[in-house]
Amino acid sequence: MKITVTINNQLLERDVAPDLMLIDFLRENGYLSVKRGCETTNCGLCTVHLDGQSVLSCSVLAVRAHEKSITTLEGLQKEAEAIGDFIAKEGADQCGYCSPGLIMNIISMERDFLKDNRNEIDAQEIKTYLAGNLCRCTGYMGHLRAIANYLRTKGVKITGSLPENTALEPDKALRSVVKSPIKKDSKALTSGKPVYTDDLAPKNALIVKLLPSPYASALIESIDTSKALALPGIACVLTYKDVPNKRFTTACQAYPEPSLYDRLILENRLRYVGDPVAIVAGENEKVVEKALKLIKVNYQVLTPVLDVNTSKDNKILVHPEEDTVGHNDFFPSDIKRNLVFSGSEEHGNVEAELKGCDYVIERTYHTLQNSQTAMEPFTTFTNLDPYGRLVITSSTQTPFHIRRIIANALDIPKSQVKVIKPRIGGGFGSKQTSVSEMYPAIVTLKTGRPAKIFYTRKECFEIGSPRHEMKITVKIGATKDGKIKAIDLYTLSNTGAYNEHGSCTVGLSGTKSLSLYGRIPAQKFSFDVVYTNKVSSGAYRGFGATQGIFAVESAIDELAKEMSIAPDVLRENNMLTLGGGVPMYYNEPINSSSLDKCLEKAKTLINWEEKYPAKEINGKIRAVGLSMAMQGSGITGIDAASAEVKLTDHGKYLLNLGAADIGTGADTILAQIAAETLMCDIEDIVVSSLSGVDTDIAPYDAGAYASSTTYITGMAVFKSCEALLAHMVGQAAKKMEVKEAEVDFDGKSFIAKTPEGEKQLSLFELGYESGGGSIEVMNASKSHSSPVSPPPFMVGAVEIELDPNTGKVEILDYVGVLDCGTPINPNLVRIQAEGGIAQGIGMALYEDVRYDKKGKMLNNTFMTYKIPTRLDLGTVRVYIEPSYEPTGPFGAKSAGEIVINNPSPAIANALANAGVRLRSLPMTPEKILAELKKNK
Amino acid sequence: MFTAKEYLSPKSLEEIYTLNKKRPNAIAGGLMWLKQSHKNINTLIDLTHLKLEEIQDSPDYIELGAYVTLSQLINSKELYDVFGNYFEAAIKPIVGVQFRNTATLGGSVYARYGFSDIITALAPLNAQVKIYDGEEKLLPISEYAQRKKQREVVLSVIIPKENQASIYKSIRLTATDFPLLNLAISKSKDKTFLSIGARPMITKTLEISTPIKKSEAEKLVDNFNFGSNLRASEEYRRDIAKALLLEALTELKLILAETEDN
Which SS3 state, helix, strand or coil, does residue B18 take?
helix
- Give the pLDDT confidence of A630-644 residue by residue, as tens digits: 999 999 999 999 999
Question: Of A19, A846, A925, which is closest to B171 when you measure between CB atoms?
Answer: A925
Determine the pLDDT at residue B260: 54
Closest-CA distance, B208 to chain A, in angstroms, reads 22
Q: Do B99 and A19 touch (CB under 8 A)?
A: no
Question: Which of 196-225 (B) contact A at CB < 8 A?
Answer: none
Contact A864 B230 (CB under 8 A): yes
Chain B residues within 8 A of A129 when measuring between CB atoms: 97
Q: Please determine, for residue A118, whether its predicted confidence score (pLDDT) is greater than 80.
A: yes
Share the mean pLDDT of chain A.
Answer: 97
Alpha carbon distance, N-terminus to C-terminus of chain B: 60
Contact A354, A528 (CB under 8 A): no
Among B97, B233, B243, the residue with its CB nearest the CB of A132 is B97
Q: Which among B4, B235, B244 is the nearest to A19, CB-wise? A: B4
SS3 content of chain A, % helix, strand, coil (to 5): 35, 25, 40
Nearest to B32 among A41, A129, A286 (CB): A41
Separation in Å, CA of B104 to nearest CA in chain A: 12
Q: Is A20 on the interface with B (CB under 8 A)?
A: no
CA dist., res. A823 & res. A741, Å (int)? 34
Q: Which among A58, A132, A859 has the least Cβ separation from residue B176?
A: A132
What percent of chain A clears pLDDT 70, i.e. is strictly above it?
100
Residue of B98, B180, B183 best to disrupt the A interface, most CBs of A under 10 A: B98
What's residue A166's pLDDT? Answer: 74
Tell me the CA distances in angstroms from A503 to A400, A507, A528, A787, B77, one per residue in order.
21, 7, 9, 21, 61
Cβ proximity of A751 and A758 under 8 Å: yes
Task: Kindly state the helix (H) or strand (E) to which residue A128 belongs, with its residue range.
Answer: helix A123-129
Q: How far is CA A140 from CA A136, A607, A870, B92, B201, in A?
A: 9, 24, 6, 19, 34
Contacts of B95 in chain A (CB under 8 A): 41-42, 132
CB contact under 8 A, B239 and A929: yes
Looking at chain B from residue 164 to 183, which residues have their Cβ under 8 Å from any Cβ of chain A?
Answer: 171, 173-178, 180
Helix then strand then coil, % of chain B, to nearest 5: 35, 30, 40
Nearest residue on chain B to A105, alpha-carbon basis: B98
* Cα-based angle A197, A199, A205 (whole degrees, multiple of 5): 80
Q: Does A869 touch chain B (CB under 8 A)?
A: yes
Q: Which residues contact A745 (CB under 8 A, 6 or more apart)?
A: A679, A725, A728, A729, A732, A751
| pLDDT at residue A715 is higher than 80 | yes
Nearest residue of A to residue B45 by CA position?
A: A18
- A18:B4 CB<8 A: yes
* Residue count (chain B): 262
Flag if B2 and A19 touch (Cβ within 8 Å). yes
Please say if the pLDDT value at position A549 is more than 80.
Answer: yes
d(CA A818, CA A746): 34
Alpha carbons A869 and A811: distance in angstroms, whole number: 13
Which helix (H) or strand (E) element contains residue A106? helix A99-114
**A874/B contact by beta carbon, under 8 A:** no
Mean pLDDT of A6-18: 97
Q: For the segment A353-369, what is each residue's pLDDT rounded down to a tens digit?
A: 999 999 999 999 999 99
Q: Which residues contact A609 (CB under 8 A, 6 or more apart)?
A: A603
In chain A, pLDDT over 90 holds for what percent of residues? 97
Taking 80 as the threshold, does the pLDDT of residue A667 lie above it?
A: yes
Residue B175 one-letter amino acid: A
pLDDT (average), residues A393-408: 98
A926: nearest CB among B28, B44, B232: B232
B233 contacts in chain A (CB < 8 Å): 926
CB B102 within 8 A of CB A59: yes
The pLDDT of residue A165 is above 80: no
Strand order in the sheet with A685-687: A685-687, A653-657, A641-647, A779-784
- Whether residues A42 and B95 touch (CB distance < 8 A) is answered with yes
pLDDT of residue A722: 98
Q: Determine the pLDDT at residue A161.
A: 87
This prediction has a pTM of: 0.97
DSSP state of B231: S
pLDDT of residue A172: 78
**How distant, in Å, are the alpha carbons of A32, B194, B211, B214, B235 from that of B249?**
51, 10, 8, 9, 21
pLDDT band at A51 (very low <50, low <70, confident <90, very high): very high
Q: Mutual orientation of helices A925-935 and B234-251 as an angle, nearest 10°? A: 90
Sequential pLDDT tens for chain B (262 residues): 899 999 999 999 999 999 999 989 999 999 999 999 999 999 999 999 999 999 999 999 999 999 999 999 999 999 999 999 999 999 999 999 999 999 999 999 999 999 999 999 999 999 999 999 999 999 999 999 999 999 999 999 999 999 889 999 999 999 999 999 999 999 999 899 999 999 999 999 999 999 999 999 999 999 999 999 999 999 999 999 999 999 999 999 999 987 654 4
CB contact under 8 A, B35 and A59: yes
Please identify among residues 123-142 of chain A the ones whose CB lies closer than 8 Å to any CB of chain B.
128-133
B67 at A interface, C-beta within 8 A: no
AA letter at A525: F
d(C-alpha A904, C-alpha A885), whole Å: 28
Mean pLDDT, range A600-608, rounded to an integer:
98
Give strand pairing partners of B207: B193
Q: What is the pLDDT of residue B124?
A: 97
Closest chain A residue to B40, measured at CA? A19
Per-residue pLDDT at A870 exceeds 60: yes
pLDDT in the model for residue B258: 75
Average pLDDT over residues A891-895: 97
Interface test with A, best of B97, B100, B115, B171 (most A CBs within 10 A): B97
Cis upstream peptide for A256 (omega within 30°): yes
A18 vs B contacts (CB less than 8 Å): 4-7, 44
Give CA torsion, residues A212, A214, A217, A221, to 10 deg: -80
- The whole-angstrom distance between A847's CA and the closest CA on chain B is 10
Is the Cβ of A286 closer than 8 Å to some Cβ of chain B? yes
